[in-house]
Structure 1
Amino acid sequence: MPKTLKALLKPGAMLAAMVSGATLPGCSNTIVIRYCLMTMLFIMFIPMHFGDIKIQRTHLRVLALNFVMALLPYALFQAAGRRDLALAAFWTGIAPTATAAPVVMGFLGGQVSYVLTGFVLTNAFIPLSLPLLLVALSGHFSWSSFLPIAWNIVQLIGVPLYLARIVRMAQPRAIGFAKRLKGLSFALWVVMLFYIAADASRFIHSQDAAGTAGAIWAIAAVSLVICMLNFSIGYAIGHKGLRRESSQTLGQKNTSLTIYLALTYANPLAALGPTFYVFWHNAWNALQLYLHARKANNGKSDG
């Protein structure tokens, strides 16, 4: 298969899933999204080795910036009377570091352990903070609101993590097996995108068509700006020699988690923020990988 065609397969599959889902609003099903996500997390947790985790000061800056990039746009859009953009910006900015971020950093020849540490730190603290944040954003606190959200997130993250630890201890060879399941994880992600698009389409059909279309374009733009800021600010705050790593840790996000939570606790329009982010951060990564490969090839030519 030609390399160009092979490179287009994954984005093509993602686009096809979203277009198909958008044309079939009757297929919306958040239960399928939930169990696809839990299966993906289970596969991801099996090979994870926590011995490489070494927290640096910049990791704490990245963690803090995740909250800033969620809460600051939320406050600004809320003050402007655009709650739709406020929610989309919040669910886009609050997403923790993506599973694939350490892998991409490996392709770029960077320090994988740094990004892995950022992944573990953000994926531990951000989900734990979300129940309190969601109740705070609603304007009032009550245990009856807080506890169901907390329990849902504990189940969503904790069950796959616990099962993965059991499997890893019982059968160490499962680590290699999990690494061979990357194709399954991507297939589950495509299925998720189909149902996400279907749910968003169902929501849009129930709203004013003209107003909702304008909101979608605005959400896409907000998501793009947040993506560019994340990669740029991440690069700026990194120590010398770790700027790309810091950029990747803040910029590449685990949107599958926040898409599901946005569908559960907000609405499908809010979930479009992190959904668009999938395309923006993948486009950024594609550009980085292209520039890295070109630099490497030029170096070989000069040699």
Structure 2
Amino acid sequence: MNAKSLIIFMVILIGLIFNQGHEFSYLIKYLLMAMLFFPFLTISPPKDGKVYWHVLAQFAAMALLSLTVYWMLVNWDHQLSTIAFLLAFTPTATAAPVVIRLLRKNVEYVVLAVVVTNLFVALLLPFVLSIINPGEVNIVFAGMLFSTFMVVFLPLVLAQLVKFYFRELANKLVLMNQLPFLIWMAVLYLATSKASAYLFGHATSFRLFGEIALVSLVMCGFNFLLGRYLGGKRYAVEASQALGQKNTLFMAWVALEYVSHYAALGPVCYLVFQNIYNSILLNQRNNHVN
């Protein structure tokens, strides 16, 4: 296991045990915006035109899968069906380009996936949630639309302004590759603390937690496999990461703000599983190189 994966697991564990950070969970939104700002600085249009079709197909697959798993589970357990929907509809993680770079694959593909899926999800999620959970999800529709869109749109616009008008500053910020990771860890601690504080403050059955973890595991494995299939031989690894490595902290914030504290456990569990998988990939890559 590499050092960063170990740090991630330690932060999750600390958040679960020392959950005093839940009092500062309102900062998650702003930290997410700061974290998105850095990969948006490196955006450049992919030269291969097929990449655009691949990414659009990936988003279509996300949308179709999210609705399919929801309707498959809704008659069994409404809460689990909503969690499964959120996990399927979660956009590509901002950390995905970092993993792809370590695997020495096409970074531009995954950066485009980050931009497209995060923007589309920010725009569509309020509409879809209000349809599948009318009257049951704590949504102030206009407020959620504005919040989710601005979390993605504002850092994108600021990053492009800095990139085009303050090139020297942009180059220096890109070199600060440890800062986004530290921000990521801060968001992870706050989200985990928020979920932990709710669990300790309310009666939560071990069975419910186990069911949420199982749904998260199944969705995680299926997303990576589906992405590999959609990517074909040329972009198998890139598409697998783009569809499988999710921006779980964004969706944890959505769950905490607009769905339920229980729903936030889904993205937190998914985060653990996707990092286990990526740790295996990176270790295999290192062993192959050595």
TM-score, scaled to structure 2: 0.88
Give percent identity, aligned residues only: 29
What amino acid is aligned across from residue 61 of structure 1 in structure 2? Answer: A
Q: Deviations over 1:4-36 (max 9, x none)?
A: 7xx23x233323322232234443133111121
Preserved contact between residue 21 and residue 197 of structure 1 (Cα < 8 Å): yes
> Which consecutive unaligned segments of at least 5 residues does structure 1 have?
298-303
> Which consecutive unaligned segments of at least 5 residues does structure 2 have?
none
Label 1:52 to 1:176 Cα distance change in 2 as closer, same or farther (>3 A).
farther
Preserved contact between residue 69 and residue 93 of structure 1 (Cα < 8 Å): yes
Preserved contact between residue 253 and residue 264 of structure 2 (Cα < 8 Å): yes
- Partner residue, 2:262: 269
CA drift of 1:223 comes to 0.9
CA drift of 1:157 comes to 1.6
Preserved contact between residue 108 and residue 292 of structure 1 (Cα < 8 Å): yes
CA drift of 1:254 comes to 1.5
Label 1:66 to 1:135 Cα distance change in 2 as closer, same or farther (>3 A).
same
Distance 2:17 2:224 in 1: 33
- Partner residue, 1:47: 42
- Partner residue, 1:22: 16
Q: Deviations over 1:164-220 (max 9, x none)?
A: 2222233102232222322121112222122212211221123224x2x32222211
Alignment of 1:57 with 2:53, yes or no, is yes
CA drift of 1:156 comes to 1.5
Alignment of 1:156 with 2:151, yes or no, is yes
- Partner residue, 2:181: 186
SS in 2 for 1:281: helix
CA drift of 1:109 comes to 3.0
- Partner residue, 2:70: 74
Label 1:145 to 1:75 Cα distance change in 2 as closer, same or farther (>3 A).
same
Q: Deviations over 1:24-56 (max 9, x none)?
A: 444313311112111111223223224657444
- Partner residue, 2:211: 218
Preserved contact between residue 46 and residue 174 of structure 1 (Cα < 8 Å): no
Label 1:296 to 1:19 Cα distance change in 2 as closer, same or farther (>3 A).
closer
- Partner residue, 1:239: 232
Label 1:105 to 1:43 Cα distance change in 2 as closer, same or farther (>3 A).
closer
- Partner residue, 1:301: none
What amino acid is aligned across from residue 194 of structure 2 in structure 1? Answer: D
What amino acid is aligned across from residue 180 of structure 1 in structure 2? Answer: L
SS in 1 for 2:74: helix
What amino acid is aligned across from residue 30 of structure 1 in structure 2? Answer: S
Q: Which has the larger radius of gyration?
A: 1
Distance 2:21 2:274 in 1: 27
Q: Deviations over 1:52-80 (max 9, x none)?
A: 57444332221112123322222222210
Preserved contact between residue 224 and residue 241 of structure 2 (Cα < 8 Å): yes
Given the alignment, which residue of 65, 77, 84 partners 2:79?
84
What amino acid is aligned across from residue 69 of structure 2 in structure 1? Answer: P
Distance 1:101 1:25 in 2: 27
CA drift of 1:107 comes to 2.6
Alignment of 1:294 with 2:290, yes or no, is no
Distance 1:157 1:251 in 2: 19
- Partner residue, 1:285: 278
CA drift of 1:266 comes to 1.0
Label 1:282 to 1:22 Cα distance change in 2 as closer, same or farther (>3 A).
closer
SS in 2 for 1:79: coil
Distance 1:37 1:125 in 2: 17
Q: Aligned-pair RMSD on alpha carbons?
A: 2.4
